[in-house]
């Protein structure tokens, strides 16, 4: 089941997932970030943190599939 979630990077920039669970955050400077996925409160799920997400200027960063426990 796909849950909607709000995504933040280092608690600054954010975006919501689409119907397939995908998201895109543009304009992030190169660096290493912590990604936080906060599910819809009605889902009963808890936020997930993904550390050490490396962003390179002009590149797409794929964090793979992330599953809420």
Chunked in runs of 10, what are the mean pLDDT values of the chain (69 residues)?
80 84 87 92 90 92 87
pLDDT at residue 2, rounded to an integer: 61
Cβ atoms of 63 and 35 closer than 8 Å: yes
Cβ atoms of 63 and 55 closer than 8 Å: no
- Burial of residue 33 (CB within 10 Å: 0-12, 13-18, 19+) is buried
From CA 57, how far away is CA 69, in angstroms rounded?
32
pLDDT at residue 55, rounded to an integer: 93
Note the pTM of the prediction, 2 decimals: 0.79
pLDDT at residue 22, rounded to an integer: 87
């Amino acid at each position: 089941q796909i849950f909607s979630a709000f995504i933040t990077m280092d608690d600054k920039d954010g975006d919501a997932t689409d119907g397939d669970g995908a998201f895109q955050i543009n304009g992030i400077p190169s660096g290493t970030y912590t990604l936080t996925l906060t599910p819809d409160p009605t889902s009963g799920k808890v936020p997930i943190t993904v550390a050490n997400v490396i962003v390179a200027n002009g590149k797409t960063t794929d964090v793979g599939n992330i599953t809420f426990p």
